[in-house]
Amino acid sequence: MTDPRQEAVLAHLRRSQQAAERAASDTKFVAATVAIAEHTARALKNGGKLLLAGNGGSAADAQHIAAELVGRFLLERAPLPALALADNGASVTAIANDYTFADVFARQVAGLGVPGDVVLAISTSGSSPNVLAGVAEARARSMHTIGLTGADGGALASAVDVCIAVPADSTPRIQEAHTVVGHLLCEIVERELARRP
């Protein structure tokens, strides 16, 4: 008799593989991945920075991407300016307490962002109020906006300049794809900026 835990692992891996194959065959998904990397690389080349926003697992994804850019992904190079807005617990809790939780990203975007910066908003549902508010603030301040979401993209899809909506309904599959997109973003940006003298 097969171990049910092994069957569960195999089933999970197969579902992940199927989601990756759907994304790889989706030309819009592939083109959007290149586009978000180009937006980000251009902003960083011009002295801008990347601000990342997300809740829960998406906050962790934002931290991961920022860490790869400030540190190093694959190439030895100068650090790149990237900041995950959920990182500062004091700011997040102060803003949530003194204003509302829906303001935690918008207020930071207003204080830290300048025209030409990029805001990368991550929300598996595409409907997180604080993420959407951060995007609205970024657009009002002439920043580029990028969305990572899933399924139909929710409100985030139409709120950003470029959106990647993972063709999946399962939160774990969407988050797994976001990790891959984050790594692709870091790889492309790093190579683009490594070309600078």
CATH, residue 162: 3.40.50.10490
Q: Which residues pair with 119 in a beta bridge?
A: 51, 145
- Nearest CA to 32 among 82, 40, 192, 18? 40
- For 24-33, 87-96, 142-151, which range has the lowest pLDDT when averaged over its residues? 24-33
Summarised one tens digit per residue, pLDDT across range 97-134 is 999 999 999 999 999 999 999 999 999 999 999 999 99
d(CA 124, CA 117): 23
* pLDDT above 60: residue 196: no
Domain with 41 in it: 4-194
* pLDDT above 50: residue 22: yes
pLDDT of residue 4: 87
Q: What is the mean pLDDT of the chain?
A: 93
pLDDT of residue 96: 98
Q: Name, in order, each residue with C-beta under 8 angstroms of 62's C-beta and a sequence gap of 6 or more.
A: 52, 53, 54, 84, 85, 86, 120, 122
195 falls in which pLDDT band (50, 70, 90)?
A: low
Helix (H) or strand (E) holding 11: helix 4-24
Count of structural domains, the chain: 1
197 falls in which pLDDT band (50, 70, 90)?
A: very low
pLDDT of residue 117: 98
Q: Quick one: average pLDDT of 177-190?
A: 95
Summarised one tens digit per residue, pLDDT across range 130-182 is 999 999 999 999 999 999 999 899 999 999 999 999 988 889 989 999 999 99
Single pTM value for the model = 0.93
Instruction: Return phi, psi of residue 166, to 5°.
Output: -65, 130
